[in-house]
Amino acid sequence: MDKRHQLSILDQWASNSRQVSRSTKRLQEIDEWIDWQPLYDIGRRIDKTGPEGGQPRKPVRWMIRGLFLQYLYQLSDPQLEDHLIDRLSFRRFAGLPLDQTVPDFTTFWRFREALASEGLVEELFEEITDQLDAKGLLLRQGTVVDATIIDSVNRPLSDKKREQLVEDPSPQIDTDANSTKKGGTYYFGYKGHIGVDAGSKLIRKIAFTPAAPHDSTVLEDLVSEDERSLFGDKAYGRDSLKQMARDDGWYYGILDKGKRGDPLSSTQKKRNKRHQKVRSQVEHPFASIKDRYGLRWAKAKTKVRNKARFVMASICWNIERSIIWSKKQQHITPASAT
């Protein structure tokens, strides 16, 4: 076994403390809930050491778990390094013994960049989702689709400025983000799209686009094709989709939209109100992604990096939500479930 993963005498002494912080409890639950080995295997695929030489990478356990700590606690790279130095619960979660030196923050940055650029963050999401599915936590009763605007910290670019940046690119300016108008207000940034398992509120599918494309353009990417119903707001409504639901035998729960000269009937309004209660479930993961996991703003300068942040925040939601959901499921008796 790698000695860097073994507990030192200092670790064993610190572990005997009777006081347990809320942070320690949180990280212990996550540690025990996930099978980490497949995540390490994904992380090792960016290891550039071997016959070609190069700088040896730090243990992938430290890197993967450090990545989770960063998003669970909204930490910058330097803050992650400092917290791993100062906080015993962080070191224990990362498997980083007290007698080992914490990697420099640039090591974590390079690891995260490599995961994002090679599309491996999405594979982490798929692996976690598969694990939650294996635990029997996905209901498949229906999928709720929706999108949220994530404002860029950059300013909107004029067409002239974009043309200049094509000839003379700048890593400090985000040219991937663009603008959209919603409710009479213009927004500049991106859209995060999710397909949520109705009932469990776990995210099954993800898409990430600049702000301008219509929500419905990624609808197919958010459907798992094994659900028994589909819910969404009026933006996703299509007559062809409604006909497909009738032909294939699944429930069409997209909100009805009135047309000029053809307003909604009282029956359609009641139907919308009923479906809105289901559709609103998507707001809970969005709120956590933005506020609990730090995606209120798109701070990176490229779509690839911002997408990786959105996916990691979605992973964190799925892990912590699934822990809560599992506890609720255990308290449902057969009598109360009928």
Q: What is the DSSP string of 303-330?
A: HHHHHHHHHHHHHHHHHHHHHHHHHHHH
Closest CA to 308 of 201, 162, 214, 176: 176
How much is the pLDDT for 172? 85
Question: How high is the pLDDT of residue 6?
Answer: 54
The DSSP line for 52-79 is T--PPPPPHHHHHHHHHHHHHTT--HHH
pLDDT at residue number 335: 44
Q: Which two tokens stand for residue 181?
A: 């108008």
DSSP class of 201: -
Partners of residue 147 on adjacent β-strands? 193
Indicate whether 51 pLDDT > 80. no
pTM: 0.89
Distance CA 85, CA 101 (A): 8
DSSP 299: -
Strands 251-254 and 297-298: unpaired
- The pLDDT value recorded for residue 189 is 96
Tokens of 221: 């990417």
Which of 280, 32, 246, 261 shows the shortest CA–CA distance to 145? 280
Q: Which of 307, 144, 142 is nearest to 236 (CA)?
A: 144
Q: Which residue is it, tokens 């799209």?
A: 193
pLDDT of residue 54: 44
Distances from the Cα of 178 to the Cα of 188, 189, 210, 215, 282, angstroms: 5, 6, 6, 14, 24
The total of other beta-carbon atoms located within 10 Å of residue 219's CB is: 20
- Integer Cα distance of 13 and 79 in angstroms: 26
Token duo for residue 168: 């003379």
**Do 114 and 54 touch, CB atoms closer than 8 A?**
no
Domain extents for the chain?
3-118, 124-337
The first and second tokens of residue 25, run together, are: 């409890």
Separation of alpha carbons 56 and 89, rounded Å: 26
User: Phi, psi at residue 211, to the nearest 5°?
Assistant: -70, -30
Q: From the CB of residue 77, how many other CB atoms can be counted at a distance below 10 Å?
A: 17
Q: What is the pLDDT of residues 160-191, one digit of tens each?
A: 888 888 888 888 889 999 999 988 999 999 99
Neighbours of 140 (CB within 10 A): 16
Q: Among 270, 276, 304, 295, which Cα is nearest to 72's?
A: 295
| Sign of the alpha-carbon torsion through 327, 329, 330, 331 | positive
Confidence of residue 53 (pLDDT cuts 50, 70, 90): very low
Residue 112: CB partners within 8 Å, gap ≥ 6? 67, 70, 308
Say what the pLDDT of residue 4 is: 55
Pairwise pLDDT comparison (4 vs 273), residue with the higher score: 273
Look-up of token digits 């859209």: 191
- Give residue 162's Cα distance to chain centre: 30
Helix (H) or strand (E) holding 209: strand 203-210
Q: What is the pLDDT, as a whole number, of residue 2?
A: 54
